[in-house]
Amino acid sequence: MPKLSRKTRELLEGKNFAYVATVNRDGSPQVTPVWIDTDGKSIFVNTALGRVKERNLARDPRVALAVFDFANQYNGAFVRGRVIKTIRGKKAEDHIDHLSFKYTGNKKYAGRNRRERRVILVIEPTSVSER
């Protein structure tokens, strides 16, 4: 597993959106903007169970993502990797609140549908490049 550089970690830790690419069942690409997080080694994407990216990654764990500096779109990182683990339950619910605070300043995720169940997709990078 390649190590995330300080620049890539700062992009992932910052208030920057990432664009996650997955593969649909028919082989076509699917891209979604997401909130992201990292522990410095893995990348975390929080989504709801049953969404297209979650279904695609449950079937095929290969993923690519691009993250750009909100203040300077010419500063970015590109990651290819695999979902190595999913985390559900309270930890995933708490994590979406953490991301809500990071991105919006709200301590609770305002878009939460009480019937949807959250999941954290833990991504292990296999390739990282920057510009």
Give the CA-trace dihedral at 18, 47, 113, 106, to 10 degrees.
Answer: -40
Q: Please tell me the predicted confidence (pLDDT) of residue 87.
A: 98
- pLDDT band of residue 113 (cuts 50, 70, 90) is low
C-alpha distance from residue 112 to each of 36, 86, 108 (Å): 17, 19, 8
**Can you list the domains of the chain with their CATH numbers?**
6-130 (2.30.110.10)
Q: What is the mean pLDDT of residues 62-88?
A: 97
The torsion region of residue 10 among left (phi > 0), alpha (psi -120 to 50) and beta comes to alpha
Spatial distance between the Cα atoms of 125 and 131, rounded to a whole number of angstroms = 17
pTM above 0.85, yes or no: yes
Q: How far apart are CA 33 and CA 80, in angstroms?
A: 16
Tokens of 111: 């878009």
Partners of 54 in the beta sheet? none
Task: Write out pLDDT tens, residues 55-71.
Answer: 999 999 999 999 999 99
DSSP SS3 for 45: strand
Helix ranges (DSSP H) in 17-89: 52-59
